[in-house]
A and B are shown apart, each in its own frame.
Chain A
Amino acid sequence: MSEILLEVRNFQVTLDGSPIVSDLTFKVEEGEFLTILGPNGSGKTVLVKALLGLLPHSGDVIWHRKPRIGYLPQGLNQMLVRDLPLTVKDFYALKKLKRAEALSFLASVGLKDDVLNMRAGYLSGGEFQRMLVAWVLASRPNVLFLDEPTTAVDIAGGETIYSLLREAWRAQKLTVFNVTHDLSIVFAHSTHVLCLSRFGRRCYGAPREVLTPAVLSEIYGAEIKFYTH
């Protein structure tokens, strides 16, 4: 049986006087692939940022083992670095990684050697995201926070990213916190789901147990049809 890695108790985040996340309590075991699910505006990104210490919060966040955290933030795509003379090699040098190490991590996400000398801003959305996954994994984290990691990627590219992440999760025994509003991701990849809604409805547990049509309707505020196979 896995040990508890993170305990969150009576967690609350208030921004500009408005409660975004309130009175949230949950536990995460080592090795979980936890998806934080919810519609836009339900506080998924705010929760992740607050857990990472990027936003102020109240309540308890107890890490039972010191985490080495890797983070793939929302909205970091190739367009953000497009106007910088920054090659992929330069991007890896920001982490003081040597060429051979960078090549090995790039190979692990299916990118070839010649990507190293390409401008990061000129990679395709999928290539940039894979490059970023490898970059984050290069710090050898044991806890990975992913915030909508496939937003700027097409469906096939998104599947590739999740396959890579799932492979890394298995091989490196990571604990993953993954933010998405995509239900198919939850059923395909997650061991657990934490759902948030704008209306205060919460759920936590194994996806197939807790994500019933009734719960989904309460979370999304509308009738949701989803077929799992």
Chain B
Amino acid sequence: MTIQLLFSLITGIFIAGSAAYLGTLMLSKKMAVVAGPLGHLALPGAALALIYGFSISLGAFPFVVAGILLIWLLEIRTKLPMEALTAIVFAAGVATAFLFLPLDRAEAALVGDISKVGVDATVASVILCGLVLIVVHRCYPAIMLMSIHEDLAKTEGINVKLYNLIYLSAIAIIVALGVDLVGGLMTAALVAIPAAAARNISRTIVQYGFASGAIGVISAIIGILISNYSSLPAGPLVILTSSTIFLVTVPLAKP
């Protein structure tokens, strides 16, 4: 195994695992598809990164954060559903991106490229994903209760605005990092598919979170290894692997 492949695997495992764990909350809040538009929102940043030659995740991050803050503020002001606000904000992101995105070099932004990830990006991904995992794990009961009944959560003393901000910040970090692994077009799949597969086979919340994370990690390993031994990009292979696992779990689902 080359050191480059090791970096790719470590980065992919951390991003896919934490995205999948976060995805269990997003699926519960019926917000899994939100990661897709947010991935699109990363595209203007990815365009700048390609033009000026720096990390796509680094370029994506401020745009995703700005978009999420905008959605958070609009939700407080308008009380429109978050998925509707995300759809509104992401359209602006996509439109802006296609004004600047150099289409001849756009593949990395659209479908990701983790095969050339360096030591700095690997360390940054591990630290950020580890942070997201710890924070999400600590906030999990509160956010789950909010997704079941927001008023009940409020009367139990949960600061809903604060937890929504933490939750959206975690999504911002994961989406920005996810653009490196699967590109701006497929980030929704990174959070939604492992969580959906895990729900098919889980009876308890602990099983749900653990199974989703495990499916994310397994998908990343298989996708990156196949990519390494073929000329195919890793991002679509990771997503196709998790899609296959989802199909395998379908007969086990309890409607």
Please determine whether chains A and B interact with each other in the same assembly: yes
Interface of B is mostly: helix
A93 at the interface (CB under 8 A from B): yes
Contact of A85 among B142, B155, B205 (CB under 8 A): B205
**Cβ-defined contact, A89 with B141, below 8 A:** no
Distance in angstroms between the alpha carbons of A86 and B154 in the assembled complex: 20
Q: Check B156–A95 contact: CB distance below 8 A.
A: yes
Q: Which 10 A-B pairs have the closest CB atoms?
A: A71-B155, A85-B202, A90-B205, A94-B141, A85-B208, A94-B145, A76-B149, A73-B151, A87-B204, A54-B151
The CA of A80 and the CA of B148, in the complex, are separated in Å by 7
Q: Which of A60-88 contact B (CB under 8 A)?
A: 69-71, 73, 76, 80-81, 83-87
A80 with B155: CB separation less than 8 A: no
**Cβ–Cβ contact A139 & B156, under 8 A:** yes
Kindly list chain A residues whose C-beta atoms are within 8 Å of the C-beta of B144: 86, 94
**Which residue from chain A places its CB closest to the CB of B204 in the assembled complex?**
A87
Indicate whether A98 reaches chain B with its CB closer than 8 angstroms.
Answer: no
- What is the interface of chain B, defined by CB distance below 8 A to chain A? 28, 141-142, 144-145, 148-149, 151-152, 154-156, 199, 202-208
Q: Which residues of A contact B149 (CB under 8 A)?
A: 73, 76, 80
A71 touches B204 (CB 8 A): no
| Candidate in B142, B148, B155 with the most chain A CB atoms within 10 angstroms | B155
Q: Would you list 19 pairs from A and B whose C-beta atoms are within 8 A, ordered by A residue?
A: A52-B155, A54-B155, A70-B155, A71-B151, A71-B152, A76-B152, A84-B199, A84-B205, A85-B203, A85-B208, A87-B203, A87-B204, A89-B204, A90-B205, A94-B142, A94-B145, A95-B156, A139-B156, A145-B155
Given contacts A54-B154, A93-B141, contact A81 B203 (CB under 8 A): no
Complex: A145 Cα to B152 Cα, angstroms: 11
Q: Which chain B positions have C-beta within 8 A of A166?
A: none
Closest to A119 in B: B203
Complex CA gap A81/B205 in Å reads 12
Distance in angstroms from B208 CB to nearest chain A CB is 5
Known: A94-B141, A95-B156. A81 touches B202 (CB 8 A): no
User: How far is it, in angstroms, between the C-alpha of A73 and the C-alpha of B145 when the chains are bound?
Assistant: 13
Task: Report yes or no: B205 in contact with A86, Cβ–Cβ below 8 A.
Answer: yes
A221 to B204, CA, bound (A): 49
> CB-nearest residue of chain A relative to B141?
A94
Nearest-CB distance from A11 to chain B (Å)? 19
User: How close is A99's CB to chain B, nearest CB, in angstroms?
Assistant: 13
Report the minimum CB–CB distance from B220 to chain A (whole Å): 23
Complex CA gap A69/B141 in Å reads: 19
Among B148, B199, B202, B207, the most chain A Cβ lie within 10 Å of the Cβ of B148
When chains A and B are docked, how far (Å) is the Cα of A54 from the Cα of B150?
10
Q: Among the listed A83, A85, A94, A95, which residue makes an inter-chain contact with B207, where contact means beta carbons less than 8 Å apart?
A: A85
- In the complex the two chains form, what is the Cα distance from A185 to B203 in whole Å? 37
**Complex: A87 Cα to B208 Cα, angstroms:** 11
Q: Which of chain A's residues has its CB closest to B203's CB?
A: A85
CA distance in complex: A119, B202 (Å):
11
Bound Cα distance A225, B55 (Å): 75
Chain B neighbourhood of A89, CB < 8 A: 204
User: Which residues of chain A come closer than 8 Å to B154, judged between CB atoms?
Assistant: 52-54
Q: How far is the CA of A97 from the CA of B155 in the complex (A)?
A: 17
Q: Does A49 contact B (CB under 8 A)?
A: yes
In the complex, A80 Cα to B207 Cα: how many Å? 20
Measured CB to CB, the nearest residue on chain B to A89 is: B204
Are A90 and B151 CB-contacts (below 8 A) given A84-B28, A139-B156? no
A96: CB under 8 A from chain B? yes
Q: Which of A49, A53, A73 has the most chain B CB atoms inside 10 A of its CB? A: A73
With a 10 A CB-CB cut-off, give which of B142, B152, B202 has the most chain A CB atoms.
B152
> Bound state CA distance, A85 and B209, in angstroms?
10
Cβ contacts under 8 Å, A71 to chain B: 151-152, 155
